Each structure stands twice: as C-alpha cells, then as structure tokens.
C-alpha cells in the first residue's frame, strides 16, 4: 500500500528503516485467536485477516499502528485501544 500511495522511493526508505530497527515487527501465533475474532466481528468492513492480524499484533505490542488505511483501522481502534499513525 505504501508504494501505491507514496511511491517506490518511500517504500524503499520504509524498508530501510525496518532493517535498521526504526520500526519493530513483533507478532506471533499468540495473537492469531485475537486476529480471528477481530476478522469475524468486523467482517462487514471487510477487515480481512491481514488488517485483523496487524491490529492484534499492535494490541499486544503497545497499540500503535502505522497505516494509511484509516477506513478500517479507525473503526476498530477504540475497541482494540489502537493509536493510528500518522495522526
């Protein structure tokens, strides 16, 4: 989605930041039941598994989500206690 909206250069910079540790991706199988529950509850969005997994992982790791998909995440942010970035 980053490359679609902001271009390949921004995507490359983001991936570089991931590699240097500026952002952390930390999620595992412990979050799968929560992701499944969120995907089922918000199936009318449709939230989908990927976004549900991101939300579940964010819940378990500080509650921050870096996304450009405000439509879906703004709906579930209150229940999941998420902070959507950029604000």
Grouped pLDDT means (10 residues each) for the chain, 87 residues: 75 79 74 89 83 90 87 86 89
What's the pLDDT score for residue 25?
Answer: 62
Residue 56 burial class via C-beta count within 10 angstroms: exposed 0-12, middle 13-18, buried 19 and up: buried
Judged by DSSP in three states, 65 sits in strand
- Nearest to 64, CA basis, from 44, 40, 48, 81: 81
CB 86 within 8 A of CB 69: no
Instruction: Flag whether the pTM goes above 0.85.
Output: no
C-alpha gyration radius of the chain: 13
What's the pLDDT score for residue 74?
Answer: 87
What's the pLDDT score for residue 82?
Answer: 94
What's the pLDDT score for residue 72?
Answer: 83
């Amino acid at each position: 989605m980053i490359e679609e909206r902001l271009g390949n250069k921004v995507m490359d910079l983001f991936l570089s930041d991931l590699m240097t540790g500026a952002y952390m991706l930390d999620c595992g199988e412990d979050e799968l039941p929560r992701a499944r529950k969120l995907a089922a509850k918000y199936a009318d969005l449709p939230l989908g598994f990927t976004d549900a997994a991101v939300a579940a992982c964010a819940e378990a790791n500080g509650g921050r989500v870096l996304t450009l998909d405000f439509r879906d995440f703004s709906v579930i942010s209150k229940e999941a206690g998420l902070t959507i970035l950029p604000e």
